[in-house]
Every structure is written in C-alpha cells, then in structure tokens.
C-alpha cells in the first residue's frame, strides 16, 4: 500500500499542481510525505517562466515553506534537497527510490515541450519509463482545481491478456482506503482500430477477424464479471464496462461518463521514440485527460504495449 509519497518539485507553480493531490491522499492513506528537489547541472535561467531554483539553501527554505502551506497539520512531512548537480533529473528521481524508498511518486506532467518533449518525453514520462515504483501523474490543468482532492470514483483499465491485472491490487487497496467506487474497464478493438499484424489479417479475412473480436468481447465480459464478484465480496462497490475502439479514446470517454476522479493503468514504461512509434496507451491517456493518472509498472511481456 502507499505509505510513503514522494513529490518532486522544481520551484515552479506548475510543478506544485501535484501538491493538492498529495495533501488529499496523505491523511487518508496515513502516509508520510517527502518533498524532493534536485539541483540540475547547467539549468536554464527560468523554468516555466519562473526563476530556476538552483541554490541548495534556497531550495531547502522553499520546500519547508511548501510543507507548512500545503500540509498543515499533516505529520510525517519531510524535505530532501539533492545537492550534487545532476544532468538527468528524471533518472535522479528514480535513483532516489533506493534512498527514500517511496511507495508512490506524485508529480505534474509538465515537460520541455516542442519536438524535444515529443521525442524524449516529459520528466514525468521518463520517471515512469526508468523506474519500478508506481507514479501518479497530475496534469497541469489540475492547477485550476480546488485545493482539496477526494478520490470518490476510480477507473481501472485492464486488458484481455490479464497482464494488466497486476495493476489491480494497488488500485483496489487505494479504493478500500478512500471508499471509492471502482469502475473496471476492458477495451476490445474494432476492425478499424486494429494495429500491427492484425491489420493484415483484417484485410485478408475481415469476417474471421470480426468474429475473433466478438469472441474477445465475450471473454472480456466473463473476465470482468469474475473480478466484480471478487471485489464485491471484499466490500467494494464495482461497475464494469467492456468498451470497443481505440484504447486511449475509450478510456478517456469512459472515465468522463463514470465521473472518475482518477484513472489507473498498468504500463510497461515505453517512453520517447519507442512510445511514439509503438502507439503506447499511457502517454495518449495522459495527453487527452485532465484527470490524475496512476501508472503501475508491469512485468515484461513480449510484444506488450501500455
């Protein structure tokens, strides 16, 4: 369960979008919080239009001010400034996993933008790609939300292969702690949204491929029914849905209909060019949704995408 939350901050208001979610979850989860700042080597003068925080002493003062303002009355809030300059901030955040031992990293999805941001991914995406700790991504639009964050409904996206069931346990524990309703979703493609080798089969044998997808839909319904029965036996309220279409679009639309406060995905951590060409679902959902996105690292699966 999530008992230690780490929130990396670079001194910008945009990065502070992660704070309301961390402050809302910490008391509910009875979790400690570490606010982390990493001194970057050869940094730009500004970050997101604000002066870059490069002095260790100033960073420590900043983190302490944030701790007092964002977590009033919350016990177990610590600050940590990594004073040795680093060239790779994302990798340094991951490497702090051994030192700080977080159960969850919470950070805003802001990046450098432009072609570099597209090809190499934001710092948040790189943390996901390099690490093995679950990451809760907070979109920049969350800065306009009220300070309080409550998780009343969460959407968990699974897949037909059962690989993404690995993301189910931490999500269920989060739902139990917050009292949230669980919306389980599985997405089966349509003929028009098939990818890879299946496209050739669709062209050669469209009738056969259509029948295979219908069978997959039936299997998804059985799979979700089994999960629903198990979770309801554990005391949770559960909704289930099988969607058809392109996964990211279906996930985002389903979350909107379900009025979810948070989306949960299993991910193999594809970032940068790999994600751009593989059509990974997680970066697409992150880009298209205004909701916090909990990414749970999965084991390796040949040919798998997330």
Mean residue pLDDT of the chain comes to 81
Q: Are residues 157 and 233 in the same domain?
A: yes
For residue 114, the enclosing domain spans 4-144
> Tokens 């606010």 correspond to what residue?
35
Asked whether residue 304 is domain-assigned, the answer is no
Q: How many domains does the chain have?
A: 2
Structural tokens at position 47: 């970050």
**β-bridge mates for residue 166, sequence order:** none
Q: Are residues 112 and 213 in the same domain?
A: no
Among residues 110, 144, 178, the one where a domain terminates is 144
Tens of pLDDT, residue by residue over 256-294, are 999 999 999 887 766 555 554 455 788 888 888 889 999
More confidently predicted of 304 and 2: 2
Is residue 156's pLDDT more than 80? yes
Q: Are residues 168 and 207 in the same domain?
A: yes
Q: Taking Cα atoms as reference points, which of 45, 56, 49, 120 lies closest to residue 88?
A: 120
Q: Between β-strands 135-138 and 293-297, what pairing exists: parallel, antiparallel or unpaired? A: antiparallel
Asked whether residue 50 is domain-assigned, the answer is yes
Is residue 61's pLDDT more than 50? yes
Q: Are residues 134 and 195 in the same domain?
A: no
Q: Are residues 80 and 162 in the same domain?
A: no
Q: Are residues 16 and 110 in the same domain?
A: yes
Tens of pLDDT, residue by residue over 14-48, are 888 899 999 999 999 999 999 998 887 776 666 66
Q: What is the DSSP string of 272-293?
A: HHHHHHHT-HHHHHHHH--S-E
Asked whether residue 184 is domain-assigned, the answer is yes
**CATH code (residue 122):** 3.40.50.620
Q: Are residues 232 and 101 in the same domain?
A: no
Among residues 144, 175, 209, the one where a domain terminates is 144
The angle that helices 247-257 and 281-288 make with each other, rounded to 10 degrees, is 40
Q: Are residues 120 and 102 in the same domain?
A: yes
Structural tokens at position 288: 């298209």
Neighbouring residues of 41: CB distance < 8 A, sequence distance ≥ 6: 85, 86, 87
């Amino acid at each position: 369960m999530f008992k230690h939350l780490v929130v990396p901050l670079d001194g910008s208001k945009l990065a502070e979008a992660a704070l309301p979610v961390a402050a809302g979850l910490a008391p509910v989860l009875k979790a400690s919080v570490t606010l982390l700042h990493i001194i970057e080597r050869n940094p730009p003068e500004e970050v997101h239009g604000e002066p870059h925080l490069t002095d260790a002493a100033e960073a420590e003062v900043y983190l302490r001010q944030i701790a007092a303002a964002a977590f009033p009355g919350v016990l177990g809030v610590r600050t940590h400034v990594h004073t040795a300059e680093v060239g790779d901030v994302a990798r340094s955040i991951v490497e702090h996993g051994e030192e700080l031992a977080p159960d969850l990293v919470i950070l805003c999805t802001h990046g450098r933008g432009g072609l570099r941001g597209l090809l190499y991914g934001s710092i948040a995406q790189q943390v996901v790609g390099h690490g093995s700790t679950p990451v809760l991504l907070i979109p920049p639009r969350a800065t306009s939300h009220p300070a309080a964050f409550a998780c009343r409904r969460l959407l968990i996206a699974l897949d037909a292969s059962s690989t993404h069931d690995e993301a189910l346990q931490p999500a269920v524990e989060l739902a139990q702690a917050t009292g949230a309703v669980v919306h389980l979703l599985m997405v089966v493609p349509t003929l028009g949204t098939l990818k890879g080798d299946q496209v050739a089969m669709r062209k050669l044998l469209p009738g056969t491929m259509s029948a295979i997808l219908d069978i997959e839909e039936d299997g998804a319904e059985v799979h979700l029914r089994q999960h629903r029965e198990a979770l309801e036996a554990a005391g949770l309220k559960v909704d289930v849905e099988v969607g058809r279409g392109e996964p990211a679009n279906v996930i985002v639309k389903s979350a909107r209909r379900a009025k979810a406060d948070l989306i949960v995905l299993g991910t193999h951590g594809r970032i940068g060019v790999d994600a751009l060409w593989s059509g990974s679902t997680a970066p697409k959902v992150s880009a298209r949704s205004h909701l916090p996105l909990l990414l749970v690292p999965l084991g390796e699966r040949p040919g798998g995408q997330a």
